[in-house]
Structure 1
Amino acid sequence: MAEEGVRLQKVLSQAGIASRRVAERMIVDGRVEVDGHIITELGTRVNPDESVIRVDGVRVRVNDDMVYLALNKPVGMYSTMSDELGRPCIGDVVEHRVRGNKNLFHVGRLDADTEGLILLTNDGELAHRLMHPSYEVPKTYLATVTGKVPKGVGKTLREGVELEDGPAHVDDFALVDALPGKSLVRITLHEGRNRIVRRLLEHIGFPVEALVRTAIGEVTLGEQKPETIRVLTRKEIGELYKAVGL
């Protein structure tokens, strides 16, 4: 390890992981990893701009310039940073509530009729990997559909159906609630073709009346209200890194 750089316990402290004293104990206990190697020596120096640092297997974000946000996009809003026709878009929310927002990528496009979780970040590599189908990051939705969903639908969707642009299947399916003339179902899948959830459900005879994306990977919407933005926790950021191999 190079002599130049910043002491590892100081980097962990500045990243908000723990006080320096607690960070030192973490290092001695073998809980800290730098560039794939467990570090137990307290004198270790690192380059925080280049080194990949993990605590308990979860990557630590050490760059203060990086922004990681969760937006609950409401129905009627477009998943773009600007709109030539003046329609409401997520860029409007970002402009009013996030400082230094010019370089944010939006991850997890949703059609205007769908509510739910969209991630916003200026971490280009993370955004690229989260959007790339090869990393297969799962996305979970709650859909209100017309009709009573019988047993066997989940098996059909897991095995896959043939859509006009090729076969598609879900990773998980569950009936959450049965309402008069409607059903509430939960679907998890990892592909992101246009309107894929709506098309899948309509294909098997259950048109979607309302759709909400509740999770991308380990990041969940929870009780977050529509048109609000929150900062991702350190654990959530680490889980996203882990999901795409960063």
Structure 2
Amino acid sequence: MASASRDGRPGRDQPGRPNSRGQSKSGGNSKSGGQKPTGKKPGGKSSASKSPGAKPFGPKTSGAKSGGAKNSRGTGGKNPGQGTRKPHRKGSRPNVETGKVRLNNSRPARHQVPVVEGDGATYVSDGMRLQKVLAAAGVASRRGAEEMIAAGRVEVDGEIVVEQGLRIDPNAAIIKVDGARVVIDESKQYLALNKPKGWQSTMSDDYGRPCIGDIVAERVMAGQRLFHVGRLDADTEGLLLLTNDGELAHRLMHPSFEVPKTYMATVRGEVGRGLGRRLREGVELEDGPVSVDSYTLMELHQGESLVRLTLHEGRKHVVRRMMEAVGHPVQRLVRTDIGAVHLGVQRPGSLRALDKKEIGALYKAVGL
């Protein structure tokens, strides 16, 4: 295994390039003063980015060069064997200030003083990205883990890592957060929650409002790391999945896998016969067209209609906005199905574990 460069690529200690300790192979010191990166410096850059030739792992900085060569992450040119890096999700850098105060939810390892061998973090070409390892260990979500890395709170094999995307072997690397070693919990949890109306789809709420984190608080305190798959707005009830299986959750939320979701919507007014065809053909919203996979009129009662809609869209308030656009505002909305998982007669606020058949169907739906 080759050693890790500051951008997560092999060849950290090549001649003329500074290593992670701030010293070049030619014997001179870099601007980092021989110290490990400790987090953010004035201007929002880590100390590693001050080293000549060091390229922080993240979005390209306009005009940045390394030793006279064009940055291989930009459009100005490519080095042989290196591809361009996609911008960070949502086009932004991790928030360092948020990372400094983010809660570490992981359960500490039983053995806190392991022997650290080698010379700092080691790059593994087919390894797992550090933020994904931290999410699997229950430290935080992937996004939260990226913020904690940027804040200088994560250490790998005795070396503080502040750049994003370093690939490591999670079974061999010794990972610490705030000086405490963490380990990956291999046991997977798959839960179905019937979210009550008025509850927030968050694990905690700064305003003290009821949230799904209150329902699973005992599980989290016992060491389980759980996060919700997608969201329901406060006024929407029904099925919400909770898991610590990061890859499954990511695919279930990604629109490319088109996992269907079914809703029961009580809408204002008595819907006409042509509404189903209109919804299947598509309704234009401000952020683009949306259509349903299936539509069924369930009942009409005193100026209201109950309809069942199935769609694979995941945009914010998409069902409410769609029905508003066709002249039938939603009065009540309940999500009853996600793929092959059904809400059934599950009571509001209650949890149940998914069975093997349901878990297998979810995996099949997203190609796992």
Q: Normalising by the residue count of structure 1, what TM-score does the alignment of the two structures yield?
A: 0.72
Q: Which residue of 2 aligns with 1:224?
A: 346
Of residues 269, 272, 281, the one that matches 1:147 is 269
- Tell me, in whole angstroms, the C-alpha distance in 1 between the residues paired with 2:218 and 2:275: 43
> Within 5 Å, which residues of 2 pair with 1:128-147?
128-147=250-269
Identity of counterpart residues, as a percentage?
66
Q: Deviations over 1:189-241 (max 9, x none)?
A: 00110000000001000010000000000000000010000000110000000
1:222 and 1:101, CA in 2 relative to 1: closer, same or farther beyond 3 A?
farther
- Tell me, in whole angstroms, the C-alpha distance in 2 between the residues paired with 1:105 and 1:86: 19
> Within 5 Å, which residues of 2 pair with 1:139-218?
139-218=261-340
Higher strand share: 1
Q: Deviations over 1:34-56 (max 9, x none)?
A: xxxxxxxxxxxxxxxxxxxxxxx
Q: Which amino acid aligns with 2:206?
A: E
1:143 and 1:64, CA in 2 relative to 1: closer, same or farther beyond 3 A?
same
Deviation at 1:161, TM superposition (A): 1.0
Deviation at 1:97, TM superposition (A): 5.4
Q: Which amino acid aligns with 1:238?
A: G
- Compare 100-109 and 122-131 and name the one that shifted more: 100-109
Q: Which residue of 1 aligns with 2:198?
A: 76
Greater RCO, CA 8 A, separation 6+: 1
Contact 1:75 1:112 in 2 (8 A): yes
Higher helix share: 1
Residue 214 (structure 2) pairs with residue 92 (structure 1):
yes
Contact 1:137 1:217 in 2 (8 A): yes
Q: Which residue of 2 aligns with 1:110?
A: 232
Residue 177 (structure 2) pairs with residue 65 (structure 1):
no
Q: Which amino acid aligns with 1:191?
A: E
Over aligned residues, Cα RMSD in angstroms?
1.6
Q: Deviations over 1:91-115 (max 9, x none)?
A: 0101135664652121131000000
The unaligned stretches of length 5 or more in structure 1 are: 1-62
- Tell me, in whole angstroms, the C-alpha distance in 2 between the residues paired with 1:230 and 1:215: 14
1:125 and 1:153, CA in 2 relative to 1: closer, same or farther beyond 3 A?
same
The unaligned stretches of length 5 or more in structure 2 are: 1-184
Contact 1:94 1:101 in 2 (8 A): no
Between the two proteins, the alignment pairs up a number of residues equal to 185
Of residues 357, 363, 367, the one that matches 1:235 is 357
- Tell me, in whole angstroms, the C-alpha distance in 2 between the residues paired with 1:99 and 1:190: 34
Q: Which amino acid aligns with 1:211?
A: L
- Tell me, in whole angstroms, the C-alpha distance in 1 between the residues paired with 2:195 and 2:292: 23
Q: Normalising by the residue count of structure 2, what TM-score does the alignment of the two structures yield?
A: 0.49
> Counterpart of 1:199 in 2: which secondary structure?
helix
Q: Which residue of 2 aligns with 1:30?
A: none
Contact 1:95 1:101 in 2 (8 A): no
- Tell me, in whole angstroms, the C-alpha distance in 2 between the residues paired with 1:105 and 1:131: 12
1:219 and 1:98, CA in 2 relative to 1: closer, same or farther beyond 3 A?
farther
